[in-house]
Structures are given as C-alpha cells and as structure tokens.
Amino acid sequence: MLFLGKTRLPLLLSRLAAEYELFAPVPSGDSHRMARSVPGLDPVFPPFRLSSSLRAFWLQPARVLATWSARGPAPGPEPKPRAIIGAKACDLRALEVLDKVLRGQDFVEPAYAAARDRHFIVSGDCTEAAATCFCTLVEGAPWPERGFDLNLSPAGEGFLVEAGSGKGDRFLLAQKDLLDEAPATLVAERDRRRAQVREQVDRQNEMVRPRSPYLQSVGKHLKTRLWGELAATCVECSACNYNCPTCYCFLLHETRDAGEVKRISVQDSCFHAGYSRMAGGGTPRLQLTERFKNHYFHKFVWFRETFGITACTGCGRCVEACMGKIDKRKCLRDLETRWIPTEVVQEL
C-alpha cells in the first residue's frame, strides 16, 4: 500500500492535469459541485457524494450518437480525456450498472463507450454519510472497492493510494517520487475510519433495514395494490430518475442541417406518461401506479435477474430530490412488511 502526503497531492494532480482535463469538487452553497479545475489547486474532498450524480460526464443529457451525410458516417472531433477527482463508491457502482447495459451487450452505445474510455477516475472514501445515504442496504459500502483508476483513502496526514486499473497502475508508476510505502498503522487507521462510516450508514437506516433481499420483497408485489398508496404523493416530476446515477433511458431524435443528419439521444424518464407511447397513441403504462411499480421492479427485480446486480446504489439522491417526500427506503420497507396476499389483483 502506498502513501501520499497531503502536501504532495497538488503536485500529483498537476501531473494528472498534463494528460487530462481535470474536474474536481468545489464548494457550492452548503454542498459541492464538480467544476473544471486548474493545476496546482488543492481540491476539496467532500465527505460524501455530491448532490448531483456524475452521470453527465459519461451520459450527457443530450448526446450525439451518430452523424452522417450522403457521403457516409462523419466522425466528430475527438474530445480531450478527462480526470474526475472525488468520485465516491456509489458513483462507481453506478458505472457498473451502466456498463452492463450500454457496453456489455451485443450492441454498444457509442457515445457512452467513448466517454467511459476517455475518463480517468480518482475516487475517495466517504468520511461521513449524508442523511439519505443507504449504500449498505444495497450491498454497497461507503468506500470504493473497484471501478476506479486511483482511490485515495484519508489516513494520517495524507492518503493511502491504490490503483484499480492498468491506467491507474501506469500513472502511479511514474509518481514514485511522491509516494512512500504506507505503514501498517495507517492501513489500520483507514480500516477503522471506514468501519465508522459504515456504522453511521447502518445506524441511520436501522428502521428500514430489510430482512430479505429486495429481489424478493419487491418481486412479490407484481400484482398488489400497495403501489397506489406508495405513489400517492408522486407528482411525476421525474426528479428521482434525473438525479439517479444509474438511470439511462433515452429518447432518440434526429436533426438535419445542410445534408448532415445527427441522431441525438435525449435523457428520458419512465415516469412520463408518454414514455412508452406508441404510434397511434396507445400507452402500455397509462396509470402512474404502473409506472411507479415499473421503476421499482426495474431497479430491484428485473435488472438484478437479467444482469446480476441491483440498479440502485443507495446514494439517496432520489430521496433528497423528491418533491412528494417519497423515501425509497421506506417504500422498500413497506413492500417487505406489508404483504397481504388477498390484495393480489387478478389480471389476464
């Protein structure tokens, strides 16, 4: 394990900036946001994930998927590679979800795949939990275990540094002059800090801790009426989806300008009534309760069955963003505890 003294961090980042355009958290109101960073800046490491997810770095709300003209496909300019500083474990787990869908199947979403390849991710352990954090309820932890290029864990007067990829290994190899071998006491300190934050997340979610996997507790509600009650205050604003780091649904549209056609994908949300509307006007999920249920089933049942992971990282941004004060953790607890077989609705 390697150690980086706090005072050496700006130098390490300036070397990173020689290869990448740097983005790092900056204070914004009572929270933080990502901003383009200048070399030499001593970055702020927020205690927990930012209010906004990092999704827009790899899945811009509107992105060009293809450009072509009568002469054939026209490649766009190659954007500069970027380094993101301060990603948290939930941000990295969201990338696993997105990777499964957008570059892990027969077809690849080209804009996403290119964006993933050109990002270098420097993550960090959470040093506190936000009130809405619940990563430990969805098999996560408040420290990164994979998915980063470099991870920095606060310890002593600096950081324990770990590489999590070939890119990270290569970069670290060139920084030997800044790094020391970490003493075992610092590793023990890191583990102690991690356990404390984990305990904080566990403690604040004690009342909503599931007794059975969400796959089962949500999965048994395919035909029950509880959804109407859970969705009672939903105003269909889609803030939960737009703030979710794992939501990836999009709408395709095209523009044509001087013979050049662009196929553009625009972020969409399954909460919109017109989301699955077909030509002719038919909409399979006309009722909000069906769309609400679809959201939960997608994240906790169907995605898990198809790809082996849950499409929720427990970041809690949906809880923070909800205007109807719907707390996903409480909905999930209700789905587990309020199971009344006689409520099953008979369908075709």
Partner 1 sequence: MDNAFVPMPAVVEDVITETPTIKTFVLSPERPISFRAGQFMQLGIPGLGEAPFTPSSSPFVPERMEITILRTGSVTNALHTLAPGAVVGLRGPFGRGYPVDHFEGREVLVVGGGVGLAPLRALLFWLFHEIDRVKRVSIKYGSREPAELCFRRLHEEWGRLPKVDFTCTIDRPAPGWDGRVGLVTTLLDGLDVDVKEAVVVSCGPEVMLKFVTLKLCDLGFPPEHIFLSMNRNMSCGMGLCGRCNVGPFYLCKDGPDMCYADIKDIPYALG
Q: Which residues of the shown chain bind partner 1 in the complex (CB under 8 A)?
A: 65-66, 68, 73, 101-102, 105-110, 222-223, 248-256, 261, 263, 265, 268, 270, 275-280, 282, 284-285, 290, 294, 297-298, 301-302, 305-306, 345, 347-348
We find the least distance from the C-beta atom of residue 348 to partner 1, in angstroms, to be 6
Closer CB to partner 1, residue 204 or residue 339?
339
Which DSSP helix (H) or strand (E) runs through 171?
Answer: helix 166-173
We find the least distance from the C-beta atom of residue 78 to partner 1, in angstroms, to be 15
Pick from 63, 17, 54, 13: nearest CA to 33: 54
Pick from 239, 299, 296: nearest CA to 93: 299
Contact 94, 283 (CB under 8 A): no
Pick from 22, 94, 104: nearest CA to 58: 94
Closer CB to partner 1, residue 32 or residue 299?
299
Task: Give strand pairing partners of 4.
Answer: 159, 179
Spatial distance between the Cα atoms of 348 and 335, rounded to a whole number of angstroms: 23
Closer CB to partner 1, residue 163 or residue 249?
249
DSSP state letter for 182: P
Closer CB to partner 1, residue 143 or residue 275?
275
Closer CB to partner 1, residue 48 or residue 297?
297
We find the least distance from the C-beta atom of residue 33 to partner 1, in angstroms, to be 27
Closer CB to partner 1, residue 132 or residue 246?
246
We find the least distance from the C-beta atom of residue 254 to partner 1, in angstroms, to be 5
We find the least distance from the C-beta atom of residue 341 to partner 1, in angstroms, to be 15
Closer CB to partner 1, residue 41 or residue 270?
270
Q: Is 144 helix (H, G, I), strand (E, B) or coil?
A: coil
CA angle 124-126-130, nearest 5°? Answer: 140
Spatial distance between the Cα atoms of 86 and 147, rounded to a whole number of angstroms: 13
Query: 25, exposed or middle or buried, with CB in 10 Å at 0-12, 13-18, 19+?
Result: buried
Distance of CA 344 to the CA centre of its chain: 34
We find the least distance from the C-beta atom of residue 266 to partner 1, in angstroms, to be 10
- Number of C-beta neighbours around residue 232 at 10 A: 12
Spatial distance between the Cα atoms of 215 and 326, rounded to a whole number of angstroms: 20
- Quickly tell me which residue has 């990270």 as its tokens: 168
We find the least distance from the C-beta atom of residue 169 to partner 1, in angstroms, to be 26
Closer CB to partner 1, residue 5 or residue 110?
110
CA angle 200-206-210, nearest 5°? Answer: 125
We find the least distance from the C-beta atom of residue 206 to partner 1, in angstroms, to be 32
